[in-house]
Structure 1
Amino acid sequence: MQSLPNNTNKDSNKWFDSLPPRSIASFDDLGKKFLARFSIQKDKAKRAPSLLGIKQGDRESLHSYIERFNKACLDIQSLPSEAAIMGLINGLREGPFSHSILKKHPTSLNEVQERAEKYINIEENSRLSATHK
């Protein structure tokens, strides 16, 4: 049996990990979903510039935006880290996190994630305290 190219293995692992719990009823079901996802992938392959169209909504939480952005990144093969960082920054609405990012540009996706988590926690704590008032 021929093995898949290394980047296909990574893509299929990301896809598999992103499946909702209990969304696969059988091995046959898994096979059908896998083929539906990857057999036509080359026809609809997206490129890094497509990330520039992803914008954080006016009332969208940072957590929700980053989650949506990360899902879009899964559709792009061999996405350079710098392109992902630039796309994410480009789509941020003005606010504390975007100001922080503009002051000190992140050098890795890990750094973006770590810095984002701080602001996500601040947003969530603020939202919780507002609902308890």
Structure 2
Amino acid sequence: MYLSDASDAIRCKAFPNTLTKTAIKWFDSLPLRSITSFDDLAKKFLTRFSIQKDKAKHAPSPLGIKQGDRESLRSYMERFDKACLDIQNLPTETAIMSLVNGLREGPFSHSISKKYPISLNEVQERAKKYINMEENSRLGETSKTGLSYSPRDKDKESRKKEDQPTETPRKYHNYTPL
């Protein structure tokens, strides 16, 4: 708008089109004729919303990210990566320490403790191997149990068979097929 040298009136008309959710509600609640110029609108807007800027996350925040008891290594790594992206200027050493500290006891954490990684790239490369091993072992478990039923479904089916009497007296001789 400044580059095209638009007038105050055009700037004021175009401004609401750039707003979302809370800002639109605020704009709609402004009293009629309370804005005298675009500069006036800009000052009121900044006064209202400059306090609510997102606070920058600090480096210690990834220390709280822990791998859940049943969480796969892949989902933990993805969650950790997303959290690290939100932090500006995160030192590599802090990121590695936080990731390693958040791992649950298992083959990958044992591997990391034997040879501590130097870079995040190295951690990710090593993690890929363990993610593949984890996923392959899950695939092996599902193929052993069968793809059509889960163990829980098989138990329910066997209970149903046990609960049903072997011969039920028939009330009617002809039934309509469903």
- Scaled by the length of structure 1, the TM-score of the pair is 0.69
Equivalent positions of 1:41-56 (< 5 A) are 43-56=54-67
Distance 1:127 1:47 in 2: 37
Higher relative contact order (CA 8 A, sep 6+): 1
Q: Which one-letter code corresponds to 1:131 in the other structure?
A: T
Tell me the secondary structure at the aligned position of residue 60 of structure 2.
helix
Matched, 1:105 2:116: yes
CA RMSD of aligned residues (A): 2.3
How many corresponding residue pairs?
Answer: 100
What is the deviation of 1:59?
A: 0.1
Q: Which one-letter code corresponds to 1:118 in the other structure?
A: K
Matched, 1:96 2:107: yes
Matched, 1:65 2:76: yes
Relative to total residues, which structure has the larger helix share, 1 or 2? 1
What is the deviation of 1:53?
A: 0.5
Distance 1:60 1:111 in 2: 22
Aligned counterpart, 2:132: 121
What is the deviation of 1:42?
A: 6.2
Equivalent positions of 1:9-24 (< 5 A) are none
Aligned counterpart, 2:96: 85
Aligned counterpart, 2:35: none
- Listed as ranges, the gaps of 5+ residues in structure 1 are 1-27, 33-38
Equivalent positions of 1:16-35 (< 5 A) are none
In our comparison, the structure showing a higher alpha carbon Rg is: 2
Q: Which one-letter code corresponds to 1:62 in the other structure?
A: L
What is the deviation of 1:109?
A: 0.7
Tell me the secondary structure at the aligned position of residue 130 of structure 1.
helix
In structure 2, the CA distance between the partners of 1:97 and 1:40, relative to structure 1 (3 Å rule), is farther
What is the deviation of 1:41?
A: 9.5
Tell me the secondary structure at the aligned position of residue 134 of structure 2.
helix
Distance 2:52 2:118 in 1: 30
In structure 2, the CA distance between the partners of 1:127 and 1:48, relative to structure 1 (3 Å rule), is same
Distance 1:87 1:131 in 2: 33
In structure 2, the CA distance between the partners of 1:44 and 1:123, relative to structure 1 (3 Å rule), is same
What is the deviation of 1:43?
A: 3.5
Distance 2:106 2:55 in 1: 34
In structure 2, the CA distance between the partners of 1:41 and 1:101, relative to structure 1 (3 Å rule), is farther
Q: Which one-letter code corresponds to 2:81 in the other structure?
A: N
